[in-house]
Amino acid sequence: MTTTTAPTAASADAADSGKQLSLIDCDVHNAFSSPDEIARYLPKYFRQRGLSLPGRAGFSSPLGVARADAVPDEGGKPGSSIAKMREQLIDAYNMDYVILTGGGILSCGVHAEADYGAAVARAYNEWFAEKWLDADPRMLGSLLVAPNNPAEAVKEIRRIGGHERLVQVIMTSATRTALGDRFYWPIYEAACEMGMPVAVHPGAESTGIANTFAPGFPASYFEWHSNLSQNYMGQVSSLISRGVFCEFPQLKFVCIEGGIGWAPHLMWRLDKNWKSLRATTPWLTRPPSEYLVEHIRFTTQPIEEPEKKDHLLQILDMVHAEKTVMFSSDYPHWDNDCPVHGLPKLPEPLKQRIMWQNAAELYNLKPR
C-alpha cells in the first residue's frame, strides 16, 4: 500500500521543476446549450432525427440539476461557457487541472439503437474537440464511448485516444449487463493500449435499456439519486469477480459521483465470500479488496456528510483513501462541492493525496 507520506513520481517531478500542483478537480461538467450543437456532427443518416436520448420514468429534481448562478452571461446552459467556468471554478480556486466529463450525453450508452448511441458519442467527441480541447491547457477531456456498442467504442478510442489532453475514456455507469461482462472487454483492452483509465458517471440509471435498481423503479428523484451507489457496487463487484483486472492489470477504473461510504462493506463482503468461494474464481489470486484498492478510484462529490466528522475519517481510512480517493467538485451541478468547504478538515498528507496527488498519478499530470 502506498503510504501517505512517501514522495511520489508526480511530487518529485514537481519538486524538480520548482512548481507544485495543489488542486485537480476530477468531475467538471462542460455542457452544450442546444442539441443541435451535437447533432450537426452526426452522420447524415442519423442527423435528420437530431439528438434523441432516453429519458427517466417521469420524476425529476425540482431544483433542476445546475446551479442557477452558473448560467453564462450571454445565456445558454450552465457549463457551456469556457469563460464562466474559468471565472467560477478554475481561476476562483486556482486549479491546476480540471477533468471535463461532459453533460447530458452519457445516456447515449443505453440507447436502444446501439449504432445511433455510438454515433452520438462520436459526434460529442468531435464537438468537444472543436470547442473545448484546445480552449485552456488546464482543461482536460474525457473520450466518450457508448458501452452498448463495444466495437464502435474501440474504434473511437483508437481514433482519438492518443490526444494528450484526452485523459480517460468515459461512459455511463448504467448498463443492461454488468461492466464485468466479457461484452465490454474490448473497450478495456483498447483503453489499456492507449494508457487511459476508464471512468463511469451516473445519470442514465433506469433509462433506456439500462436495468432499474434491484428492488424496482425508484419513485422520485430523491430515491433515484439515493440509489445510484448501489449500481456502482454492482459494477465494481462484477469487474473484480469476473477477472477484468486480472486480464487487464494496467486498467484503472474511476467511479465518479457514486459516493464512497459503501466501499468498505463491499470490500469486506467480497473478501469474506472469496475466502469460502474462491474455488469458483480461481483467477483471483488475492483478496478482492486488494484489486479494489489497486484498480478503483473514487471521486469525492457527493461525499458523505455524517453528523460526526470522525465517521467520515474512519470511512476514508477503511477505503484507503490515500490511494483511492480524488477530489471532485461536480461543477456546475446543483449539489456541487467547493474545494475549500466541501470536505471536512483532513490530515495534511491525506488532504494532498485527495486534492491532487492521486489524480496526478492516475492521469500522469505534472505542473505546467
Q: Which stretch binds a copy of itself (CB under 8 A): 17-25, 95-103, 246-254, 259-267?
A: 259-267
**Inter-axis angle of helices 114-131 and 150-160, nearest 10:** 20
261 contributes a contact to a copy of itself by CB under 8 A: yes
User: Does residue 201 contact residue 254 with C-beta atoms inside 8 Å?
Assistant: no
What letter does residue 205 receive in the DSSP assignment? T
1 contributes a contact to a copy of itself by CB under 8 A: no
Q: Which stretch binds a copy of itself (CB under 8 A): 32-40, 65-73, 120-128, 211-219?
A: 211-219
From residue 38 to residue 77, the character string flagging contacts with a copy of itself as x (rule: CB under 8 A) and all else as - is -----------------------xxx--------------
Task: Report cis status (omega within 30 of 0) of the bond before 332.
Answer: yes
From residue 88 to residue 107, the character string flagging contacts with a copy of itself as x (rule: CB under 8 A) and all else as - is --------------------
Report the residue number, 48 or 276, with the smaller CB distance to a copy of itself. Answer: 276
Per-position DSSP letters for 265-305, written without gaps between them: HHHHHHHHHHHHHGGG-TT--S-HHHHHHHHEEEE-SS---
**Spatial separation of the C-alpha atoms in residues 354 and 206, rounded to whole Å:** 31
Q: Which of 17, 20, 34, 226 binds a copy of itself (CB under 8 A)?
A: 226
User: Which residues is 100 bridged to in the sheet?
Assistant: 28
Element (H, E) at 24: strand 24-28
What letter does residue 333 receive in the DSSP assignment? B
Report the residue number, 314 or 364, with the smaller CB distance to a copy of itself. Answer: 314
Q: Is 278 exposed, middle or buried (0-12, 13-18, 19+ CB in 10 A)?
A: middle
Site for a copy of itself in 291-320 (CB under 8 A): 302, 304-306, 311, 314-315, 317-318
The position carrying cell 466528522 is 309
Q: Which of 270, 292, 321, 359 binds a copy of itself (CB under 8 A)?
A: 270
185 contributes a contact to a copy of itself by CB under 8 A: no
**Spatial separation of the C-alpha atoms in residues 94 and 345, rounded to whole Å:** 19
176 contributes a contact to a copy of itself by CB under 8 A: yes
Q: Cβ of residue 31: shortest distance to a copy of itself, in angstroms?
A: 21
Q: By the criterion CB under 8 A, which residues form the site for a copy of itself?
A: 61-63, 174-181, 205, 210-223, 225-227, 229-231, 233-235, 237-238, 241-242, 259-262, 264-274, 276-277, 279-281, 302, 304-306, 311, 314-315, 317-318, 334-335
